[in-house]
Structure 1
Amino acid sequence: MEAAILRLYITGPVILVLLAALQEPVLTEAGAKEIDSFGADRRLVAAYCWKPSPRDFEEMARAGVDVALVALSGGAPEAAAAPKVALFCDAEPAYDAIRGFFAKISPGSWAAIEGRPVVWLGPSVRAWSFAERFRADFRGRAPYLVAEWTADKIPAERRYAWGAAREGPRDFDVVSVGPGFKGVRDRAKGAFYERSWCAALRSRPAMVAIETWNRFEDDSQICECDAYGRAYVEATARFAQKYRKGETIAGPRGLASRFKRVGFNLKYSTDALGLAPVKNEDGPFELVEVTGLRLLVTKGKGDGWRRLYLDVDDAFAFWERRSFVVEVEYLDAGEGLFSLEYDSADAAIAPPGRWHKSAGERAFRGTNSLQVAEFELPDAFFGNRQKGGADFRLSVRGRGLSVRRVIVRPK
């Protein structure tokens, strides 16, 4: 009778607590002595990987990778002495899967910061509800959580931005870099990867995360392969060494490096001279002729806003604080306002706000003629952190904007 009553009332969360109490902890007293922690101030290079082989671990170590971010979906790897292994939750995890991952790897191979195992939460993970269970299994230690910046409800130690292989780096305490992404971002014979590392080195972040070591289906891999040989492995080793020394590399070079200003003028040509419009889902536009004028005209997308995104050639300005003036020649028809928002270096504004800092508004006066508006950008960063890798945008609501000329010049 007593056993029956016990079975009746021990249900749900109570069962989980009892089961946890009956299980051996993942981290034993002996295992705790094996943990070889990184200090919180140690500059670390990490790389996302799926089902890494022993050869992958050898190559990552040669490339200067300190931490292998091993995807939970691929299972626990056969770890080596280096790099250390952190758990990358590439989907919403179940706690038993997290527990099982660490249980299969010697604590001496865990990536830990100040004694706390690193758990890296992927962009789809929006909550962390395993605090007590984790502490129970890891001798009172909380995980060292790293979360995507949009998951702001998670109390993470560090944050990163996912998508660097497609969009480029973002300036969080973890800066992500990548070589390119199939169908979205061309590798440009390694130039995109080098430019991304240039940005990371200038940022001096707590950690650099590489997207990815071996994600072949996205063509975002940097491991040795038939298509690229060892070029990216060797480049990573060079960049990682500079990162640890606090050094930088030269910025992008090109024709625009010699320009005193950049821009385009549709009066003479549709060619961009160091400044190009960027077509993306938030900023569709078309080239049309209106009353004999050739103009870029913003198109609607259903939310009332129309935007024109523009990208400054990286050889002209890239990932450094500078002051510019932007001249916009536009068709002044009708009423309303348009504004300019730019990628700024204003540390007082948290991201993503500083990627879209306002340079002010200008009013349409209905003259039905071409007019010129000037915007001052005292702290431009131009780090390609707007949609599609753009550096600034012109925005208007409830109507269109027709532009013939845009010039960017140093102030």
Structure 2
Amino acid sequence: MVSQKSHFARFQRKSWVARVLTVAVVAGLMACARAPVSPRPETFSPGDHLVGTYYFYWYKWPTEHFFDGSLEKRDDALTDHFPRPKTVDYESVAWHERELSDIAWCGIDFVLPVYWGAPGAYDLPHGIFSVRGLDALQKARDELLARGKRCPRIGMFFDTSTLLNALRREKPLNGKPDLTTSHGKEVFYGTIRDYWRRLDRKHWATLGGRPIIGLYSASFAAGFDQSTFDYLDENFERDFGVRPHVIAERSWRRIKAGGFYRWGAALGGPFIDDVAQIGPGYDDRAVPGRSTPIRDREDGRFYEHSWVEAIKSGRPIVLIETWNEMHEGTSICDSAEYGRKYMRLTRKYVRLWKSRAKIKKEIELEHPKPLPRGPSDRGRQFAKERDLFIDFAKTDAKGLRIVGQPDGVFETTQEGGRRCVRATPAETTYLYFAVPDPFFYNLHERVLVEIEYLDSGSGMIILQYDSHDQGAHLGGAYTTGETIQRQGTGRWLAHTFRLDNAAFLNRQNGATDFRFALTGDPVCLSRVAVRKPAKKK
């Protein structure tokens, strides 16, 4: 973009052009003064009981988000299916009209469109649908309002995975921005600014006059602190005259926000934080490479159970996960599998919610916890082994794998005289490891996890593993074990973690079984091993 200064410099010696330009500028300013100002949106009040839902609008039949691989293979990637798939198109005003009408019929107050736009990436597929789909969405709302129809307002769900360098074509491609730096703050704020600039104010979902932003996981940022959000508030107020109301995923919990929620309620919920997050169930078996547990819908009982707990909690906002994420089977919209069943349930419980009804009933579930996937026969040659390892110093391995993830980016390097693996520097990041199922899957015996690490700098190494402890996070998938506090001796040290209740059901990200949560200075590991001690006779 050419600056105003350089633009005007071209004409400073051409007085007649300057005079014409002056007239044109004045005329333009007068026209702007006469142009109608988009009215401020009506606002929800802090005392209102509100219901919102996550709105996935990335679908375009048949080329986008319907099939995996080539279209000829017709490898269906959806668990739930639209009843009229050929009409589904993020650029179709008619499709958005139907969805918004159905959402309004349920009594839902606002939608959080899942936004994948990012500065520097608007010409990529995820940027294209984010922009064009948002334009069609607000046109649909315009037409519904013009016909006097009730319609949910529009907030924003910032899918923070777009912070990843690879999705913004920024080098290094395996990196992620530090949101405490000037560049990182501008990437973070720029995404939010561009969204709200595109959305007409009359459509804004606001609480106390402040536009509602749902913020996804902090794991896609290399670092953040309160200054990140101070920058957001100050710049948003400068550009829009008001500060946003941010509802942040709990991984951002060290900052001040309008409220916190937990993602994953469709699988492990309901989750009751500042906001009540609920969902109908979870099943992503149609998505290649997944091994996430399944949350059986139990013919609607799990969804009803979640609604009952949300109403009992008295939280002012309920967020439904999701309206139409069809790949992971979390939809409540009209579908080929369930018809309008979950819409009717939503309408029923929204009415109870808004009437401040007192609910005493309990809904018993046949499966109170998510159901694990069956074991794989991959690695069957390790079934009779007593120990597995991966040795980065010797570039050798037996069965144990390190698995890269968006929140677990790593690199091999040389530190302390050894070749080792190091997590990409971040405030908190992870290293994930997968154990072959034939070696250990859903057993009830002790297992040892051994590591060799460089004791440099400061910070912690925290083992989080997939266990039988149903009371731990996500039904035990992320059970916190021992913690190593680094002392900064500069020596290579060894440590053994003793796990008496390991399950290793592949329930962690990337179908892994345990991970190390790493804080502080970068951590280097030269060897990781898993061992089954000899059984006592």
TM-score range (shorter-chain normalised) is 0.5 to 0.7
* Alignment partners' CA distance in 1, 2:370 and 2:330: 26
Are 1:136 and 2:246 counterparts? no
How far does residue 60 in structure 1 lie from its aligned partner after superposition?
A: 0.6
More strand, by proportion: 1
Query: 1:277 and 1:159 mapped to 2: Cα distance?
Result: 23
1:71 counterpart residue number: 114
What residue identity is the alignment partner of 1:219? G
Q: 1:226 to 1:156 in 2, by over 3 A?
A: same
Task: Answer yes or no: is 1:42 the counterpart of 2:111.
Answer: no
Cα deviation, residue 198, structure 1: 2.0
Change (3 A) 1:304 1:121: closer
Cα distance, 1:162–1:309 mapped onto 2, change above 3 Å: same
Secondary structure at 2:44's aligned position in 1? coil
Structure 2 segments unaligned to the other structure (5+ residues): 10-28, 58-89, 91-95, 117-129, 146-150, 164-186, 222-227, 285-292, 374-432, 435-439, 451-461, 483-495, 503-537
Whether 1:152 aligns to 2:280 is no
Contact 2:111/2:154 (CA < 8 Å) preserved in 1?
yes
The one-letter amino acid of 1:300's match is L
CA distance in 1, matches of 2:370, 2:37: 60
- In the TM superposition, what whole-angstrom CA distance separates every residue of 1:264-285 from its partner, at most 9, and x where no partner exists? xxxxxxxxxx999997999x77
Over 3 Å counting, the alpha-carbon distance change for 1:286 and 1:218 in structure 2 is closer
- Give, in whole Å, the separation in 1 of the partners of 2:478 and 2:217: 26
SS at match of 2:363: coil
**2:266–2:282 Cα contact (<8 Å) kept:** yes
Residue 164 of structure 1 and its aligned partner are, at CA, apart by 0.8
In the other structure, the counterpart of 1:309 is 468
* SS of aligned partner of 2:277: strand
Q: Deviations over 1:58-80 (max 9, x none)?
A: 11111111110012223322252
**SS of residue in 1 equivalent to 2:334:** coil
- Asked if 1:203 corresponds to 2:304, the answer is no
d(CA) in 2 for partners of 1:100 and 1:307?
A: 40
- Per the alignment, residue 104 of structure 1 pairs with 198
Aligned partner of 2:263 among 150, 154, 162: 162
Structure 1 residue 235 displacement after superposition: 0.5
CA distance in 2, matches of 1:106, 1:398: 55
Instruction: Spell out, residue by residue over 1:317-337, the C-alpha distance to the aligned partner (whole angstroms, 9 max, x if none).
Output: xxxxxxxxxxxxxxxxxxxxx
The 3-state SS of whatever aligns with 2:309 is helix
Query: Could you tell me which residue of structure 2 aligns to residue 59 of structure 1?
Result: 102
Whether the 8 Å contact between 1:279 and 1:388 is mirrored in structure 2 is no
On the 8 A contact 2:114/2:157 being kept in 1, the answer is yes
Q: State how far apart, in whole Å, the 2-side matches of 1:220 and 1:276 are.
A: 16
User: Secondary structure of the residue that 1:34 maps to in structure 2?
Assistant: coil
State the alpha-carbon separation in 2 of the partners of residues 199 and 146 from structure 1.
20
Q: Secondary structure at the match of 1:241?
A: helix
Counterpart amino acid of residue 222 in structure 1: I
Q: Distance in 2 between matches of 1:121 and 1:402?
A: 34
Structure 1 residue runs without a partner (length 5+): 8-21, 256-273, 288-295, 312-342, 344-385, 404-411
Structure 1 residue aligned with 2:448, among 300, 309, 316?
300
Which runs of structure 1 show a deviation greater than 6 angstroms over 4 or more consecutive aligned residues? 274-282, 303-307, 391-397
How big is each residue's C-alpha offset from its partner over 1:330-385, in whole Å with a ceiling of 9 and x where there is no partner? xxxxxxxxxxxxx5xxxxxxxxxxxxxxxxxxxxxxxxxxxxxxxxxxxxxxxxxx
What SS class does the counterpart of residue 227 from structure 1 fall into? coil
Aligned residue number for residue 361 of structure 2:
250
Query: CA offset at residue 220 of structure 1?
Result: 1.1
The aligned residue for residue 89 of structure 1 is: 158
Q: Distance in 2 between matches of 1:306 and 1:85?
A: 39
Cα distance 1:299–1:194, how it changes in 2: closer, same or farther (>3 A)?
A: farther
Distance 2:364 2:204 in 1: 40
**Letter aligned with residue 156 of structure 1:** A
After TM superposition, give the deviation of residue 132 of structure 1 in Å.
Answer: 2.6
Which of 162, 175, 182 is the aligned partner of 2:276? 175
Partner letter of residue 162 of structure 1?
Answer: W
Separation (CA, whole Å) in 1 of partners of 2:264 and 2:205:
23
User: CA 1:56/1:249 → structure 2, altered by over 3 Å: closer, same or farther?
Assistant: farther
Residue of structure 2 in register with 1:216 after alignment: 326
The 1:147–1:29 alpha-carbon spacing in structure 2 relative to 1, beyond 3 Å, is farther
Q: What residue in structure 1 maps to residue 183 of structure 2?
A: none
Q: For each residue in 1:165-201, what CA deviation from the matched residue of structure 2 results, as whole angstroms up to 9, or x when unmatched?
A: 1211222111111112224322222222122212211
Question: 1:252/1:94 Cα in 2 relative to 1: closer, same or farther (>3 Å)?
Answer: same
Distance 1:391 1:209, change over 3 A: same
Number of residue pairs the alignment of both structures matches: 282
2:369 and 2:475 in contact (8 A); partners too: no
Q: Is the 8 A contact 1:298 1:306 kept in 2?
A: no
Counterparts of 2:481 and 2:192, CA distance in 1: 45
What is the TM-score with the length of structure 1 in the denominator?
Answer: 0.58
Alignment of 1:382-393 (within 5 A): 386-389=472-475
Distance 1:146 1:118 in 2: 7
After superposition, the CA RMSD in angstroms is: 4.0
